Structure 1
Amino acid sequence: MQQFLDAALDAATAAAQVIRDGYAGSFRVRTKADASPVTEVDEAAEKTIKAVLAARFPDHGFYGEEFGLDRPDAEYVWLVDPIDGTKAFVRGYPMFSAQIALMHRGELIVGVSCAPCFGDGETFYASRGGGAWRVAGIDARARPAVPVRVGRAESFPEAALSMGNIATLAGEPRFARFAANVIPRLQRIRGYGDFLHYHLLAGGKIDAVVESDINILDIAALAVIVREAGGLFTALDGGELTLDVRGVLAAATPELYRALARELR
């Protein structure tokens, strides 16, 4: 497991430097078929990540946000979003991260989330059975890591919830019920978005996340991190995280997870 984690951390560090250099300068932006933006920095970062991983594990598959699937039937498949939060990157605010996860026969086993321009940089990482860790900066192999753990909130009055990308969910009857039955009872509700609310959840700063309109590349690495920090992380309907996932529910404790799930189903 350590060799996979080390490779992911090295790939994230290499990509983070590419992203930092691009963020500081000018770059070309185009619009993809789904109307989302992509920059030459996204593409360069993904190529950098793939080069690092392919050099060490040439038999592994690779699923990248910008260049798609390569060897999808391999026993091990890397899931990569080189800049999760491209809209923020384009608009010049630092709410984006490089996401790298490893899936083994359908199970997520390694996750690295590196936010290179968030303050001085911040990296969270985890591997199955190895706990979750935070490093200040982009080079997680060169700096001391601090273990992170989710909080202890078990009920709505104790809980801080962050919601993201709720466009689809907001049009469903269950959201009206959720808004009426849950939101007034929470200690706090925010919309931190992208990597940040999952970093905050893993570190015990907030207690739950509800997010729709995502894909597996947005959350694969973050799911490993939150789970290894002691939290629960599933599809929005409670199912397993698959390549087709479109919404997620994550919470610090089983009690809070169950309470939120009841209101969302």
Structure 2
Amino acid sequence: MSSTDYAFALDGAQRAAAAAAEILLHYWRQGVAVEWKSDATPVTVADREAELAIRDILRAALPEAGIYGEEFGRDGDTQEWLWLVDPLDGTKSFVRRTPFFSTQIALMHRGELVLGVSNAPVYGETMWASRGGGAWFEGHQVQVAATAELAQASVSLGNIKSLTADARWNALGGLVAEVNRIRGYGDFCHYHLLARGGLDLVIESDVNILDVAALAVIVREAGGVFTDLEGSGLTLDTRSVLAGVPAVHEVALARLR
């Protein structure tokens, strides 16, 4: 894909995220009934309507691409291009009137994540990136921090419930004892902070690829490293995250291994 093609696809993803934002803000203001999926996670009409709006725009922007969405599954058998969509990442926050939710849209080419848009409408942040094009926050290019040592690092922990039953739990405790600052921003927020220099490491053990695909592109294009907890690259089956500035990510990965 040329830089022109990336720009066209990115424009489509941004327009799709903006359309979703209008729907989410509508239901945010008026309130919405909550249903529960078989996996005990919540879903609302806002999730579904936002994904349908996103799908319409993405199909027009890149007709040859398949779409894999949180609410309506995967359409299209193409192995070349695949959109990854979470229309409302952070539904639990949404239904509890907490503004830490977002729309996540990423594009995968032959298994590699190449483009991402992350839009948090109530929080008031949009970030985007495409391969080789840098990471951007409200029109300004961003970079991760230059933190070089674990003792200087600010770390945010997200969903880590399964890590409590993992052999790496004690290793995580060792990291916590050595870093400068511990926070738990969660959802899109700590990845946005990481990409623009406000954090140095994010750890999560319980995620879905749709939650983090766009954020992975953004962090990487900002100069960060984004892997799972084993240090592997992201796939459709990814369930954990270790993301950070290069020096801190390297040390944390060695400790957690």
> How would you bin the TM-score normalised by the shorter chain?
over 0.9
Aligned pair 1:81/2:74, yes or no?
no
Aligned pair 1:173/2:178, yes or no?
no
Aligned pair 1:12/2:4, yes or no?
no
Kindly state the Cα deviation for residue 235 of structure 1 after the two structures are TM-superposed: 1.3
8 Å CA contact 1:84–1:96 kept in 2: the answer is yes
8 Å CA contact 1:250–1:257 kept in 2: the answer is yes
- Report the aligned-residue RMSD: 0.9
Q: In the alignment, residue 132 of structure 1 is paired with which amino acid?
A: A
Matches within 5 A, 1:3-82: 3-82=8-87
Q: In the alignment, residue 105 of structure 1 is paired with which amino acid?
A: R
Paired with 1:20 and 1:149, the residues of 2 have a C-alpha distance of: 29
Paired with 2:162 and 2:126, the residues of 1 have a C-alpha distance of: 30
Matches within 5 A, 1:21-170: 21-118=26-123, 121-135=124-138, 145-170=139-164
- Residue deviations 1:98-145, cap 9 Å, x none? 000000000101000000011xx210000000000011xxxxxxxxx0
- Gaps spanning 5+ residues in structure 1: where? 136-144
8 Å CA contact 2:205–2:241 kept in 1: the answer is yes
Q: 2:175 aligns with which of 171, 178, 182?
A: 182
Match of 2:3 in 1: none
Aligned pair 1:264/2:248, yes or no?
no
- TM-score scaled to structure 2, two decimals? 0.96
DSSP-derived class of the 2:30 partner: coil
Paired with 1:26 and 1:240, the residues of 2 have a C-alpha distance of: 38
Kindly state the Cα deviation for residue 55 of structure 1 after the two structures are TM-superposed: 1.8
Paired with 1:239 and 1:156, the residues of 2 have a C-alpha distance of: 21
Paired with 2:60 and 2:128, the residues of 1 have a C-alpha distance of: 21
Q: In the alignment, residue 122 of structure 2 is paired with which amino acid?
A: C
Kindly state the Cα deviation for residue 76 of structure 1 after the two structures are TM-superposed: 0.6
Kindly state the Cα deviation for residue 256 of structure 1 after the two structures are TM-superposed: 1.1
Paired with 1:259 and 1:26, the residues of 2 have a C-alpha distance of: 44
Identity %: 52
Residues 220-229 or 54-63, more deviating: 54-63
Match of 1:198 in 2: 191
Paired with 2:80 and 2:133, the residues of 1 have a C-alpha distance of: 21
8 Å CA contact 1:29–1:37 kept in 2: the answer is yes
Paired with 1:64 and 1:233, the residues of 2 have a C-alpha distance of: 22
Kindly state the Cα deviation for residue 154 of structure 1 after the two structures are TM-superposed: 1.6
- Residue deviations 1:6-53, cap 9 Å, x none? 110111111111111110012221000100000000000000100101
Match of 2:243 in 1: 250
Paired with 2:131 and 2:73, the residues of 1 have a C-alpha distance of: 25
DSSP-derived class of the 1:153 partner: coil
Paired with 2:55 and 2:233, the residues of 1 have a C-alpha distance of: 26
Kindly state the Cα deviation for residue 5 of structure 1 after the two structures are TM-superposed: 0.6
Q: In the alignment, residue 258 of structure 1 is paired with which amino acid?
A: E
Kindly state the Cα deviation for residue 258 of structure 1 after the two structures are TM-superposed: 1.2
Paired with 1:59 and 1:129, the residues of 2 have a C-alpha distance of: 22
Paired with 2:167 and 2:229, the residues of 1 have a C-alpha distance of: 15
Paired with 2:249 and 2:77, the residues of 1 have a C-alpha distance of: 32
Kindly state the Cα deviation for residue 72 of structure 1 after the two structures are TM-superposed: 4.0
- Gaps spanning 5+ residues in structure 2: where? 1-5
Tell me the matched-pair count: 252
